[in-house]
Structure formats: C-alpha cells, structure tokens
C-alpha cells in the first residue's frame, strides 16, 4: 500500500519530502530527499502520504531506524484518509485568458483561478456564465502550462463578479498527474507556512 506515493516526513528536526517504498506489518519504509539528522530510533515522527487512490493519509509513530535517505516509521496511529485523490484541493490564484463555449456561441473570457484539484477548478470572472458552459483556458502549473476545459457546475453571484465551481473534462492522464503534483506542492507550501506561523 502507498508504494511510490509522495510523502512528507515530519520530525523535531523539520520536514523532509520523499516517497513510500513499502508499508507492511505496521512499518512504513520511506526514501527521503535528504538524510534525517539528529534523530534516533524511538523518536516521535509523523508522515503525510498523498496516495493516488486513497488521497491524503496521515500516520504517527516512532522512528524505527534511518540509514542515509532510507527511513522506517513504526506506525502507532493511522489517520482516516480525508481526501480522495480526485478531491485533493489547494488554494491557487492565477489569472488566465480563454474562451467560453455556450449555446449562444464562443466568446473570449478572462478568469482568475482561486483553487484547483486534479478533477475540478474554481474561478472568478466578471462575465456571467451558465451551468453547463465550458471554459477552455491554458493555466500555469509549476514549470509548465496545462490546457484545461472546465464545465460550470455551480454559480455563486457576487457584487462585481461571479464565482464558478467547475469539473474538468477531457483530461488526459498526463494533465491529471501534473495537476495532482501541483496540488501536492501547494499543500506542502501551505503546511510549511502554518508550521512557521505556529512557532
């Protein structure tokens, strides 16, 4: 379970990213990006795994040993997955220009994305759209750009703009994976900010 899923290991020494090698008999084996320093067997630690199927999973336990970038966590407590992959969502603000396809035709539209997941997007725009309209636009995603097609499902009217909840349609596996990794990086950044704020 979780093999090759990306993860973050948290100890008193700080956070380090990596991936899961295996999870068997209550022992989570990780390969991390940087060696864990100043930690010993039995020290408390936690792992957050973003599994492609199960979503965001959290584990709390004790370090069972470290060797270079290989780390073992003896799991004492398992958190309930709180997001499926398709629902893993993160705040993300970026302006995009595209086209809206509606029964009345095709027209240009400017939108500001406010959050994103691997299967949906929310954006705001000054243009009035209807449920079922499809907005196609290129969106920055890390060091690349993805072409998205968003079908409007929910409409929230504001004073000067509308907010739309959309499902992403016509997604290929590569685009979905790019979005998933974008969401993961955004969630990690937000977690680091919360951690720094707590200090």
Going by pLDDT thresholds of 50, 70 and 90, the confidence category of residue 16 is: very high
Report whether pLDDT(1) > 80.
Answer: no
Residue 67 has phi, psi (to 5 degrees) of -145, 100
The tally of CA atoms less than 13 A away on the side-chain side of residue 171 is: 21
Report whether pLDDT(190) > 90.
Answer: no
What is the model's pTM? 0.58
Q: Report CA torsion sign: 142, 187, 51, 3.
A: positive
Going by pLDDT thresholds of 50, 70 and 90, the confidence category of residue 151 is: very high
Query: What is the C-alpha separation between 93 and 116, in angstroms, rounded?
Result: 9
């Amino acid at each position: 379970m979780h093999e090759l899923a990306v993860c973050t290991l948290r100890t008193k020494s700080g956070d380090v990213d990596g991936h899961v090698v295996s999870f068997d008999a209550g022992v989570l084996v990780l390969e991390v990006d940087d060696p864990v320093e100043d930690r010993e067997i039995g020290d408390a630690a936690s792992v957050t795994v973003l599994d492609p199927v199960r979503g965001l999973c959290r584990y709390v336990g004790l370090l069972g040993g470290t060797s270079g970038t290989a780390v073992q966590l003896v799991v004492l407590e398992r958190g309930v997955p709180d997001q499926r992959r398709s629902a893993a969502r993160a705040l993300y603000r970026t302006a995009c220009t595209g086209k809206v396809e509606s029964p009345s035709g095709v027209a240009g539209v400017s939108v500001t994305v406010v959050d994103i997941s691997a299967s949906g997007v929310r954006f705001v725009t000054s243009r009035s759209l209807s449920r079922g309209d499809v907005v196609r636009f290129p969106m920055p995603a890390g060091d690349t750009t993805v072409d998205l097609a968003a079908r409007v499902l929910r409409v929230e009217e504001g004073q000067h703009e509308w907010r739309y909840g959309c499902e992403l349609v016509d997604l290929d596996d590569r685009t979905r994976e790019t979005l998933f990794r974008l969401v993961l990086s955004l969630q990690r950044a937000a977690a680091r900010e919360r951690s720094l704020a707590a200090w």
